[in-house]
């Protein structure tokens, strides 16, 4: 096939391992249209390393050494390849090619448009309709007397970065809804994220209001009133995830944006949470990765580096906000409105985390797909920009989704029986976001995806994950004992560095034996043996019957 053909082949390349001092064997490096492949052949032992071009985040060409020309390849999956090429010219060529291949300019160059898992069009379409937001609204109990599933945005005219289907309070008129959208940054009006059946409280999300210093918007106030009234527990709590509490908000307000003027909204409590912006997060991850790549840091260097990166502080901030939100909804029965600035980064993190804490469904394999589809893909988290899928502004890139995935992992460490899926599932989803093998995460919002006709031209990831769900299963999962609100501890000492994510390619650092694999094998064996057991029981029944018949016949004779 076309994309398997090697564009460049370089022989006598060494792949260095920063842990084993063993002499590196030489191998061959191939660059295809989609992958970098390194093949090592030593004593009938063929070892292949495949790296998807889309997974490459940076390539460094280090100064020439006596042993060759080193290339350092950093991946979005946190793999770090250290290649040693024999000649400068080849290194130059590989470097240039990789730069081009890892940074596609046009969307058509993405892997998803080449990838063909040999499915019929009908299968493809079935795959795309596997995860559906309306079904999830129905599951929550919508539509009901208080909330409606609205198609007002079906043509993406009200808000171009929102889904076509919105959960809105029944009492909100079209005028209220459209007026409110005009008052909010990019038209991202308050819409339902999650409806909590038991308490009838809701989580709504939006962007910041475009309120100048004195302006107000009656429709927006009506909209919030409507959300408030949709909660029979009477009062509502509005809430904000801006970082630098009031100062920042005031500055934004002077610029025509900001937060709601308290005086204009009745029954509202404000709560500011300190989650930093995408730029801070990007540089935090950068520092963390530099720490992970250090050759042999002392314990003190490592702990100081971990602190200085600020990474765990940010993870904790997201978790704190999620826990706050979940408690407001689950314990107090208060409805909550969440926004940061545009409402597609921190808002997405916090709303989805709160959903996981509140609803055990989102802790299942399929439930997590639904949650990601709902809070991230359809509500316009800008995957293309944040993950740098195409060549573009590097300042738009930020590990917002990675942080969400890590928060879920931190939860699974505190609640080992509460999740149907295991760590591998989280890692797999994380890697697919960057891989662009499937169409799900291409583009920045639903409208863009529709314009690109992704459903016709690419495949959906979810059915393929479901197919191999056996390996994503958490053998310790106990649905029955974790059917309500999760209450994690958010004391700093309960947050751990996620070695299985950021150092996962350093096999030497991982536990040498895996409890997960052992238990997965056992549960697999269990299923087989249960089958054998039934079969054996069936056979012995038949034999007994035959026996019985035989003796009956004998007796009659």
Q: Is 20 in the site for another protein (CB under 8 A)?
A: no
Q: Tell me if 180 sits within 8 A of 219, measured CB to CB.
A: yes
Q: Is 392 in the site for another protein (CB under 8 A)?
A: no
- Smallest gap from residue 311 Cβ to another protein (A): 9
Q: DSSP assignment of 158-210, as one string?
A: S-TTS-SSEEEETT--HHHHHHHHHHBGGG---EEEEEETTTTEEEEE---B-
Nearer to another protein, 99 or 417 (CB): 417
CA angle 388, 102, 54 (to 5 degrees): 65
Least Cα distance to 139 among 337, 366, 326 occurs for 366
Q: Which of 525, 545, 548, 552 binds another protein (CB under 8 A)?
A: 525
Lookup: tokens for 310: 């600020």
Lookup: tokens for 124: 């493809």
Scan residues 270-309 and list those touching another protein (CB under 8 A): 292, 296-304, 306-307
Q: Tell me if 457 sits within 8 A of 451, measured CB to CB.
A: no
The three-state secondary structure class of 310 is coil
Least Cα distance to 25 among 64, 106, 83 occurs for 83
Q: Is 530 in the site for another protein (CB under 8 A)?
A: yes
Stretch that binds another protein, among 231-239, 246-254, 268-276, 528-536 (CB under 8 A): 528-536
Q: Tell me if 329 sits within 8 A of 201, measured CB to CB.
A: yes
Catalytic site includes residue 340: yes
- According to DSSP, the residues that pair with 237 across neighbouring strands are 336
Residue 554 annotated as lining a ligand binding site: no
> Which of these is catalytic: 340, 351, 355, 387?
340
Q: Which of 64, 540, 545, 552 binds another protein (CB under 8 A)?
A: 540
Residue 133 annotated as lining a ligand binding site: no
Eight-state DSSP code of residue 421: B
- Smallest gap from residue 197 Cβ to another protein (A): 25
- Smallest gap from residue 64 Cβ to another protein (A): 30
Scan residues 60-119 and list those touching another protein (CB under 8 A): none
Q: Which of 247, 255, 468, 539 binds another protein (CB under 8 A)?
A: 539
Alpha helices in 436-489 (DSSP H): 446-451, 454-457, 461-467
| HEC assignment per residue over 62-105 | CCCECCEEEEEEEECCCCEEEEEECCHHHHHHHHHHHHHHHCCC
Nearer to another protein, 13 or 315 (CB): 315
Q: Sketch the per residue contact string, 315 through 354, with another protein: x for CB under 8 A, - otherwise.
A: -x--------------------------------------
Q: Tell me if 71 sits within 8 A of 14, measured CB to CB.
A: no
Stretch that binds another protein, among 198-206, 326-334, 381-389, 507-515 (CB under 8 A): 507-515
Lookup: tokens for 185: 């940054």
Residue 384 annotated as lining a ligand binding site: no
Residue 342 annotated as lining a ligand binding site: yes
d(CA 207, CA 209): 6
Judged on CB neighbours under 10 Å (0-12, 13-18, 19+), 275 is: buried
Stretch that binds another protein, among 280-288, 419-427, 431-439, 545-553 (CB under 8 A): 545-553
- Smallest gap from residue 426 Cβ to another protein (A): 17
Q: Which of 64, 125, 499, 545 binds another protein (CB under 8 A)?
A: 499
By DSSP bridging, strand 201-205 and strand 236-240 are: unpaired
Q: Is 483 in the site for another protein (CB under 8 A)?
A: no
- Smallest gap from residue 525 Cβ to another protein (A): 6
Q: Tell me if 217 sits within 8 A of 183, measured CB to CB.
A: yes
Residue 343 annotated as lining a ligand binding site: yes
d(CA 75, CA 99): 13
Q: Which of 96, 135, 233, 532 binds another protein (CB under 8 A)?
A: 532
Q: Is 548 in the site for another protein (CB under 8 A)?
A: no
CB-CB neighbours of 494 under 10 Å = 13
Residue 346 annotated as lining a ligand binding site: yes
- Binding footprint of another protein, residue count (CB under 8 A): 64
Residue 340 annotated as lining a ligand binding site: yes
Q: Which of 117, 212, 254, 547 binds another protein (CB under 8 A)?
A: 547
Nearer to another protein, 47 or 494 (CB): 494
- According to DSSP, the residues that pair with 48 across neighbouring strands are 39
Least Cα distance to 3 among 121, 97, 113 occurs for 113
Q: Tell me if 403 sits within 8 A of 314, measured CB to CB.
A: yes
Q: Which residues bind another protein (CB under 8 A)?
A: 292, 296-304, 306-307, 310, 312-313, 316, 414-418, 475-476, 478, 481, 489-497, 499, 503, 506, 508-515, 518-519, 522-523, 525-526, 529-530, 532-533, 536-537, 539-540, 543-544, 546-547, 550
Annotated binding site for substrate: 277-278, 340-346
Give the residue numbers marked as catalytic. 340
């Amino acid at each position: 096939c076309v994309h398997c053909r090697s564009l460049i082949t370089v022989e006598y390349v060494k792949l260095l391992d920063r842990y084993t001092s063993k002499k590196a064997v030489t191998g061959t490096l191939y660059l295809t249209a989609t992958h970098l492949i390194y093949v090592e052949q030593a004593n009938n032992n063929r070892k292949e390393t495949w790296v998807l071009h889309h997974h490459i985040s940076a390539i460094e060409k280090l100064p020439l050494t006596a042993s060759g020309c080193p290339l350092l390849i950093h991946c979005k999956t946190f793999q770090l390849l250290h290649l040693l090429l024999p000649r400068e010219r080849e290194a130059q060529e590989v470097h240039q090619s990789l730069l081009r291949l890892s940074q596609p300019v046009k969307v058509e160059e993405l892997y998803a448009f080449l990838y063909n898992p040999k499915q019929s069009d009908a299968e493809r379409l079935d795959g795309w309709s596997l995860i559906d937001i309306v079904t999830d609204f129905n599951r929550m109990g919508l539509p009901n007397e208080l909330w409606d599933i609205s198609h007002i945005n079906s043509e993406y005219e009200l808000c171009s970065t929102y889904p076509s289907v919105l959960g809105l309070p029944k009492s909100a008129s079209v005028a209220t809804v459209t007026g409110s959208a005009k008052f909010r940054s990019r038209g991202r009006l308050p819409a339902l994220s999650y409806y909590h059946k038991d308490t009838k409280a809701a989580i709504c999300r939006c962007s910041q209001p475009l309120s100048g210093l004195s302006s107000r918007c009656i429709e927006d106030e009506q909209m919030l009133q409507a959300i408030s009234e949709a909660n029979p527990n009477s009062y509502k709590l509005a809430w904000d995830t801006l970082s630098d509490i009031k100062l920042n908000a005031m500055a934004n307000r002077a610029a025509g944006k900001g937060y709601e003027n308290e005086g204009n909204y009745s029954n509202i409590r404000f709560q500011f949470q300190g989650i930093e912006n995408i730029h801070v997060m990007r540089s935090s991850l950068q520092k963390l990765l530099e720490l992970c790549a250090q050759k042999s840091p002392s314990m003190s260097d490592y702990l100081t580096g971990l602190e200085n990166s600020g990474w765990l502080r940010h993870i904790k901030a997201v978790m704190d906000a999620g826990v706050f939100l979940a408690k407001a909804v689950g314990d107090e029965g208060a409805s909550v409105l969440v926004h940061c600035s545009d409402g597609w980064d921190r808002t997405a993190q916090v709303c989805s985390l709160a959903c996981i804490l509140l609803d055990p469904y989102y802790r299942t394999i399929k439930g997590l797909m639904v949650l990601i589809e709902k809070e991230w893909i359809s509500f316009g988290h800008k995957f293309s920009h944040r993950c740098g899928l195409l060549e573009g502004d590097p300042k738009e890139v930020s590990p917002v989704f990675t942080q969400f995935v890590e928060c879920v992992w931190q939860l699974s460490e505190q609640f080992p029986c509460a999740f149907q899926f295991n760590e591998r599932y989280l890692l797999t989803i994380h890697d697919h976001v960057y891989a662009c093998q499937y169409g799900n995460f291409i583009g920045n919002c639903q409208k863009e995806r529709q314009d690109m006709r992704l459903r016709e031209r690419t495949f959906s990831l979810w059915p393929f994950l479901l197919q191999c769900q056996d390996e994503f299963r958490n053998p310790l999962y106990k649905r029955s004992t974790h059917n309500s609100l999760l209450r994690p501890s958010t004391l700093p000492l309960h947050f751990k560095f996620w070695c299985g994510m950021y150092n996962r390619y350093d096999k030497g650092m991982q536990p040498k034996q895996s409890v997960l694999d052992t238990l997965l094998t056992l549960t697999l064996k269990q299923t087989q043996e249960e089958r054998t057991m039934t079969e054996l029981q069936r056979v012995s029944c038949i034999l007994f019957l035959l026996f019985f018949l035989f003796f009956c016949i004998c007796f009659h004779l």
